[in-house]
Each structure stands twice: as structure tokens, then as C-alpha cells.
Amino acid sequence: MIKPHGSDELNPLFVYDSTANEALHKEAEGLASVLVSSATAANAVMLGAGYFNPLTGYMNKADALSVATDMKTTSGLFWPTPVLNLLQDAGSIKAGDRIALKDPNVDGNPILAVMDVESVEEFTDEEIALISENVYRPGAEEAHPGVDAFVAQGKVCLSGPIQVLNFSYFQSEFPDTFRTAVEIRNEISERGWNKIVAFQTRNPMHLAHEELCHMAMDRLDCDGLVIHMLLGKLKPGDIPAPVRDAAIRKMVELYFPKNSAMVTGYGFDMLYAGPREGVLHAVFRQNMGATHFIIGRDHAGVGDHYGAFDAQTIFDNDVPEGALEIEIFKADHTAYSKKLDKVVMMCEAPDHTKEDFVLLSGTKVREMLGNGIAPPKEFSRPEVAQILMDYYESIK
């Protein structure tokens, strides 16, 4: 099986030993505690689940700035985005303290992790701007939800290793879908898969997404597909995770051969960082055991902040040779061809005009679903459309 990023073995930071976990919970009750941001909590979940391998905790200022500018830590580890614990105010917390991190996303704010604080530092406004510009490339045309969420956390940075005690709300709210990188690796091994392609989604999958997965599996001669859903915080208007989950499971049940696809999810807040997040997504998938990862048009984008294929070209221009073992399957926009009576990559149909494809904007699709009108079968499977129409009807 493909090696995880940066080490020979996966090193999740979750404390699996029940006795040790219970002892840490008890210890944490007597420690100074901080209520962390949703982004910091999501980082803890990803560290605990092994997706952030080989990191041992939150980055310090020097590493964060090095990652933002050069996509590597000060020790030379390739990494595309800062992994931080940012606060508005650290109060009396100082280097050398052992503290408890409290979860902002669960009622009662339970202890999420225990942290050994190695440094307490503060970013300047200029350094925050540098990270925002290099990681998110926001431009000045419109607001950027990723930058807004990043800046809102604060400028005080706590760095150091953590021990993760639970997976926040992800395990309880999505018991059939949330999986750690450890669990996905184990299931891949149990299924006997050797070549695995992963597909990232934060939206329901329409016919074009489904066919893109089939294309990738066929062209790469893969043993299996891992559909990997983002289960964390999205932007307003996005389809809730349980609805996406139901729609995707129905699609796999009806339109994929048995035992050819796994439906899974992971606990992370979307960054909307375009190309940098595309690289981060590749790291996740290598750590969970995938050998290939589909990156299509406008991957992890938002608005008009990025070019359509920036998340592909970053692998050619900015990711050093050998930095990652996972391979990228580059995909164009896929759509149903009226001429060929099937879904194709638009770049592979040079004799087509726009009118030869069934193309619907996201706004148009949401409008149709909200009015109880199923999109055409060339755009969406009717069973998937019904689940989405039921959702829109429920929120009227």
C-alpha cells in the first residue's frame, strides 16, 4: 500500500488506548483550558484521524510563514497550508504549559485534546496578510469566506504537540460515514485493493460527477473508488452533509458495481483555498491510502478567485518532484453530450459547441429542485434528484 506522507507508518494523534484516554480526560479537568475556534477543532480532528500525518500538533509562527511562502516547514517537510491554533487572547497561558482544548461545536464544550504549549506568539497584521495572500489568493473583487474565517480566529498562535481524545461531533452525527485515515486504510486492505482513486466532494454528486469517477476508475484500471465527503463547516447555502450523504449513497447503491466504491467522510472545515487546498486534499488522500486523486475544474474554489484549472497546474508548477507519492487524475468539466448520448469531458469533444451539452448552472439547479422540478436525466439521476427535492421542500 502507498506510504503515508512524510513517514513509513501512519501516526494518528488520537489516544486509542481506553485507559490512557480516560486518564487524560481526568487530567484535563484540572488543566487550564481554552475554547478553540471551529477551524482549530477541525485541525485537531484531522491530526487525531491521521490525515495530517506526519504533523504532531499545531505549527508555530516560523513554520506557518514558511508553509505560506514556500510550502514547506522550517525542517523541510512539504506542506501546503498552515495548521494553526489561533486565539484572540491567550490570557495567562505561556510556553511550557499543558492545557485542555475545548470543542466549540459540541454542547457543553467537552475536552477535545490536551496540548503541550511550546510557544505563544502573535502574528502581525502584515504576517496575517501574507498568509492570506499566499494561501488563499483572495484578490480584491469580492469577499473570500476562507480569508474571513481565518482572520476572525485571532492573531495569537499557540504551537505544540497534542493528544486527541475524541472526534468532535463527526463520529456521533455521521456514524456510518465519518472514517479516520486509519480506518480507510484498513478497509482498503481488507478489500484487497491495490490501486485506489479518491474523489473529494462537498456537494451532492450529479451524473457528470458519477461518470467522472467511472472514467477515472476505467482509465487508471483501479480496484476501487473512495468517495470522500467533507463533513465540516461549509458556506451558507451549501447542502447539509446528511442530505449529501443520502444522495451519494443512493447513487452508489444503484449505479456502481457491488464492492467497487466506498462512501466515507472526514471532519474538516472547508478552507476554499483553491489550488493550495487541492494539494492539501491530495495529502489527505495519500494518508488514507489512495494511490490516485481526481482533481477537476475549479477544485476547492469559490467565486471567481481562481482560474478553472489552477488546482491542477499547481502540481506541475509548485509541488516539487517526489514531494507526494499520490498521483493526480486531471479532469476537465464533464457534461452530457447530446451528440454522443453520454457524459464526456468537454475537452475531449472538440467538435462540440456549448449548445451540444446539457449545461445547468448551480443556481438554476437549486431553483428547479426548490420548485419540486427534477433536473433532466442527462444531468441528475432521478433517485438522487428526489432526495434533493425532498430536502428543499423541507426547508420551505
What is the CATH number for 225?
3.40.50.620
**pLDDT above 70: percentage of residues in the chain:** 99
- Is the residue at 65 inside a domain? yes
pLDDT number for residue 308: 87
Average pLDDT of the segment spanning 40-62: 98
Long-range CB contacts (within 8 A, 24+) of 175-180? 176/245, 177/229, 177/231, 177/241, 177/245, 177/263, 177/264, 177/265, 178/231, 178/264, 178/265, 178/266, 178/267, 179/264, 179/265, 179/266, 180/12, 180/14, 180/48, 180/49, 180/50, 180/51
Q: How far apart (Å, rounded) are the C-alpha atoms in residues 355 and 360? A: 11
Q: Are residues 256 and 190 in the same domain?
A: yes
For cell 480532528, what's the residue? 45
Q: Are residues 121 and 237 in the same domain?
A: no
Count of structural domains within the chain: 2
Considering the candidates 98, 137, 191, 202, report the single residue annotated as catalytic.
202
Which tens digits make up the pLDDT trace of 328-340?
999 999 999 999 9
Length of the chain: 396
pLDDT number for residue 235: 67
- Of the pLDDT bands very low, low, confident and very high (cuts 50, 70, 90), residue 380 is very high
Which tens digits make up the pLDDT trace of 281-294?
999 999 999 999 99
pLDDT number for residue 137: 84
Q: Are residues 161 and 180 in the same domain?
A: no
Instruction: Answer with the one of 127, 143, 171 that is the final residue of a domain.
Output: 171
Instruction: Read off the CATH number of the domain in which 101 is found.
Output: 3.10.400.10
Q: How far apart (Å, rounded) are the C-alpha atoms in residues 211 and 284? A: 23
For cell 485534546, what's the residue? 113
In this structure, which amino acid lies at residue 338? K
- Is the residue at 7 inside a domain? no
Q: Are residues 108 and 251 in the same domain?
A: no
237 has pLDDT over 80: no
- Is the residue at 166 inside a domain? yes
Instruction: Answer with the one of 171, 199, 233 that is the final residue of a domain.
Output: 171
C-alpha cell at 100: 485542555
- Is the residue at 67 inside a domain? yes
Q: Are residues 204 and 220 in the same domain?
A: yes
Q: Are residues 265 and 334 in the same domain?
A: yes
Q: How far apart (Å, rounded) are the C-alpha atoms in residues 378 and 341? A: 9
Q: Are residues 66 and 188 in the same domain?
A: no
- Residue 202: active-site member: yes
- Residue 381: active-site member: no
241 has pLDDT over 90: no
User: In what side-by-side order are the strands of the sheet with 196-201?
Assistant: 261-266, 224-230, 196-201, 292-295, 327-330
pLDDT number for residue 288: 98
Segments forming the whole domain that contains residue 237 = 175-394
Average pLDDT of the segment spanning 361-366: 86
pLDDT number for residue 111: 98
DSSP 329: E
- Is the residue at 119 inside a domain? yes
Q: Are residues 164 and 289 in the same domain?
A: no
pLDDT number for residue 234: 66
387 has pLDDT over 90: yes
242 has pLDDT over 90: no
Q: How far apart (Å, rounded) are the C-alpha atoms in residues 72 and 6? A: 12
Instruction: Answer with the one of 154, 171, 188 that is the final residue of a domain.
Output: 171
Q: How far apart (Å, rounded) are the C-alpha atoms in residues 265 and 169? A: 13
Q: Are residues 61 and 136 in the same domain?
A: yes
140 has pLDDT over 80: no
Q: Where are the extended beta strands (E) located within 55-118?
A: 57-58, 86-87, 98-102, 111-116
Q: Are residues 89 and 212 in the same domain?
A: no
Q: Are residues 199 and 151 in the same domain?
A: no
Considering the candidates 203, 219, 276, 366, report the single residue annotated as catalytic.
203
Q: How far apart (Å, rounded) are the C-alpha atoms in residues 26 and 282? A: 37
pLDDT number for residue 141: 62
Q: Are residues 132 and 40 in the same domain?
A: yes
Q: How far apart (Å, rounded) are the C-alpha atoms in residues 360 and 379? A: 8
C-alpha cell at 366: 437549486
360 has pLDDT over 80: yes
Contacts of 384 (CB under 8 A, 6+ apart): 204, 205, 206, 247, 250, 251
